[in-house]
Chain A
Amino acid sequence: MTSFLKTLVRTPWFWGIVGIVLLLTLNVIKDPNYLSLGINPTTGMLAGNLLDILRVSAPIIMIALGMTFVIATKGIDLSVGSIMAVGGAAAMESLSAAGAPTSVGAMLTAIGIALLLGAVLGLVNGLLVSVIGLQPFISTLVMMLAGRGIARVITGGQNTNATNEPFRQIANGQILGLPISFVAAIVIVVLVSVIMRRTALGLMIESIGVNPAASRLAGIRPRPILIAVYILSGVLAATGGLFTVSEVMTVDVSGTGYQMELDAILAVVIGGTSLAGGKFSILGSTVGALLIATLNKTVLFLGISAAATPAFKAIVIVVLVLLQSERVRGYVLRLGRTRSRKEAVA
């Protein structure tokens, strides 16, 4: 039992769950009915704060998933927020041009265009990083700048809105009482984990993160893998953008996905994927994304301005990187050792 507890405490995502529980407790203290679910009389669907958190978490899970692999290769993708806006803008523009409020075909076209654009932008990131050899953060910083501009160009600088019932259902509809976007996100997470862990792909990604030169000598070609990782991140970011715009059926070219790259990085770090690269935890990143969604909702619920949330996230990320650093770890280890020695003496 104690050994089980010990492994649990050492699992990084365990602390993510502790964080979620703490935040939810805080909300329950403020309003004892926070966790209750009810039927919304106008839509006849299950409604409640927990479901809201799940809906908000879907896009964060997507970008965090993509970021997990990028960080595992020792890279970073700062463009995910902008690619979300590009994906959302493309979908809204295509739906409003189609003008078919109930057509499933129009929805599929919109989704296809958005994912394709995400893949193209991801490909550009991947080429810049792997073929030209630019630092990941500067390549994706350029894409972050340009992506926001591309989103504006797509919509002509406007916040395009559209009506298409099937597309609206993605975030607003439910399967078994859960938001469709959340269910879709979980399905994608499971699919990607199967691909990563049942094939050698995941291992190769980790090996590039540990030592690119050694992995090349071991017969792993880093270029195609790096490109694939950035394309995956781009496609997942565009998916996140689709989930986000589906909620309100409007794309806000300067607001959609704005500063979400920190959410993704934060989720990955909470999940125990080291920023130094070389290992990843998909489950951890998903828990991290849920924690961030809970944090976003909690800050709003406690009546703090939404603009202030970054400060809380910054504090969380500073604490986490401190816990990951050798200096703090060494100090904690030394503390533990002296304590056990004292116990032994006693």
Chain B
Amino acid sequence: MSASVSTSSIDLDKVPSRGFARIWGRSQSVIPSLAAVLLLIAMLVYAELAYGRVFHMGTMSSLLVSFAPTIILAVGMTIVILSGGIDLSVGAVVAFTSVAGVMLMDIGVNGWLAIVLMIVFGAMFGLVSGVLIQYFNVQPFIATLAMMFLARGLASILSTVPVQAPDDSPILLLATDFKLIDGPKVNDLVLTPGFFIAVLVVIGAFFFLHRTRSGRTIYGIGGAESSAQLMGLPVARTRVSIYIISGALAGLAAVVYTAEVGGKAQNVTAIGWELDAIAAVVIGGTLLTGGAGYVLGSVVGSLVLATLWMIITKDGTIRPEYLTIITGGILLVFVLLQRVLTARRRR
């Protein structure tokens, strides 16, 4: 595996000595993320030229607000994938925690307490996955696949019909519109607290990954686990906490999503969201094998997916059944791109 844990530490014997080559060598791990940024700009420009009203505050706000849960999930997924793992359970955990949370609110549990409990439930699924993976050597995708089915099944045991939170639940406050910029007619920049939660999560994850020891340990585990172990890094504790964080963020995404849809929750929501999150992370330039990548790249990846979704809705001639094929295709292209880049770096 490549030893490049960040831009500043690359294979020393391979650092080209002069000029452009050096910059090229240092910036290789940024290339996939840069490609994602270029793709995003290209897609936005194309959409603006083809359909108009894209660089439009109204369109932008609905795009950002409706993709806030995806961004939160993508942040959690980035941390898991950086460590060389995968979490397939996040979509089902969103379904379980939203149904469980809304039902708690319905039976009169304090609304804020219910929100905290939603995040705790999510963290508990993560704890189980983490323990299975770290202490029982279960492959990450098997452990989290099991949690995916457990969470989906438990959500269905709770209720197979949509449940609705009471009208006075505090969770609904998270979807209050805040008009930041009052544009002409309906062209306003309107954002919700849910969106700001997503922004805080991104900022928090950025500092956690790049400015703390635990963050560095995560890159270390993904780069080469045995070296991380030999360096005395707390591999076991960190790996379990990675899955707890991912689960807790899934719970938080459920809070934001439930608020956004007006306090409604159903056992079949969020099917396939784990794939969106994985796609966002991979498009954003994080290596699927772990050890290299950026949380901000995953945000760009989420926005690429959001723009794709917007283009398909605006276009109207692309039938929705092509959506999964296109997402799968883009995912594949980016995985192949990573493959080419890592192969070149190893040579």
Residues of A within 8 A of B (CB): 76, 128, 132-135, 137-138, 141-143, 145-146, 148-150, 152-153, 156-157, 253, 259, 262, 265, 275, 304-305, 307-315, 317-318, 321-322, 325-328
| Other-chain contact of B157, A133, A308, A313 (Cβ < 8 Å) | A308
| Other-chain contact of A311, B154, B322, B339 (Cβ < 8 Å) | B154
| Interface size grouping (class) on chain B | 35 or more
Tell me the complex Cα distance, A150–B326, Å: 11
A310 and B153 contact, Cβ closer than 8 Å, known pairs A141-B278, A318-B146, A321-B143: yes
Q: Is the CB of A321 within 8 A of B324?
A: no
Interface residues as binary, B299-336 with A (CB distance below 8 Å gives 1, 0 otherwise): 00000000000000000000111111111110110011
Q: Is the CB of B320 within 8 A of A157?
A: yes
Interface residues as binary, B75-113 with A (CB distance below 8 Å gives 1, 0 otherwise): 000000000001000000000000000000000000000
Q: Is the CB of B157 within 8 A of A145?
A: no
A317 and B142 contact, Cβ closer than 8 Å, known pairs A146-B328, A327-B137: yes
| Other-chain contact of A142, B137, B146, B331 (Cβ < 8 Å) | B331
Q: Give the distance to chain A from B151, nearest Cβ to Cβ, in Å.
A: 8
Q: Give the distance to chain B from A175, nearest Cβ to Cβ, in Å.
A: 34
8 Å CB contacts to A: which residues of B120-145?
A: 132, 135-139, 141-143, 145
Q: Is the CB of B160 within 8 A of A305?
A: yes
In the bound complex, residues from chain A placing their C-beta under 8 Å from that of B324 are 145-146, 148-149, 152
Q: Judge if B150 is at the interface, Cβ distance under 8 Å.
A: yes
In the bound complex, residues from chain A placing their C-beta under 8 Å from that of B51 are none
Tell me the complex Cα distance, A189–B148, Å: 30
| Other-chain contact of A308, B148, B153, B268, B278 (Cβ < 8 Å) | B153
Q: Is the CB of A145 within 8 A of B327?
A: yes
Q: Is the CB of B153 within 8 A of A153?
A: no
Q: Is the CB of B157 within 8 A of A142?
A: no
Q: Judge if B24 is at the interface, Cβ distance under 8 Å.
A: no
Tell me the complex Cα distance, A326–B86, Å: 22
Q: Give the distance to chain A from B149, nearest Cβ to Cβ, in Å.
A: 4
Q: Judge if B275 is at the interface, Cβ distance under 8 Å.
A: yes
Q: Is the CB of B335 within 8 A of A138?
A: yes
| Other-chain contact of A135, B156, B289, B329 (Cβ < 8 Å) | B289
Q: Is the CB of A149 within 8 A of B328?
A: yes
Q: Is the CB of A325 within 8 A of B137?
A: yes
A311 and B156 contact, Cβ closer than 8 Å, known pairs A132-B339, A150-B325, A259-B149: yes
Tell me the complex Cα distance, A265–B138, Å: 14
| Other-chain contact of B323, A142, A149, A309 (Cβ < 8 Å) | A149
Q: Judge if B267 is at the interface, Cβ distance under 8 Å.
A: yes
Q: Is the CB of B288 within 8 A of A145?
A: no
* Chain B residue nearest to A150 in the complex (CB): B325
Residues of B within 8 A of A (CB): 86, 132, 135-139, 141-143, 145-150, 152-154, 156-157, 160, 267-268, 272, 275, 278, 288-289, 319-329, 331-332, 335-336, 339
* Chain A residue nearest to B274 in the complex (CB): A141
* Chain B residue nearest to A153 in the complex (CB): B321
Tell me the complex Cα distance, A345–B148, Å: 48
Q: Is the CB of B141 within 8 A of A76?
A: yes
* Chain A residue nearest to B157 in the complex (CB): A308
Q: Give the distance to chain A from B13, nearest Cβ to Cβ, in Å.
A: 24
* Chain A residue nearest to B150 in the complex (CB): A314
A133 and B156 contact, Cβ closer than 8 Å, known pairs A141-B278, A146-B329, A275-B142: no
| Other-chain contact of B153, A150, A311, A318, A326 (Cβ < 8 Å) | A311
Q: Is the CB of A152 within 8 A of B153?
A: no
In the bound complex, residues from chain A placing their C-beta under 8 Å from that of B272 are 145
The 7 closest A-B pairs by CB, nearest first: A311-B153, A152-B321, A307-B156, A314-B150, A149-B325, A310-B149, A146-B328
**Between-chain CB contacts (< 8 Å), 26 pairs:** A128-B332, A132-B336, A137-B86, A138-B288, A141-B275, A141-B278, A145-B272, A145-B275, A148-B324, A149-B322, A149-B323, A149-B328, A152-B324, A157-B319, A253-B321, A275-B139, A305-B157, A307-B152, A307-B160, A308-B156, A309-B153, A312-B153, A318-B132, A321-B142, A321-B143, A327-B135
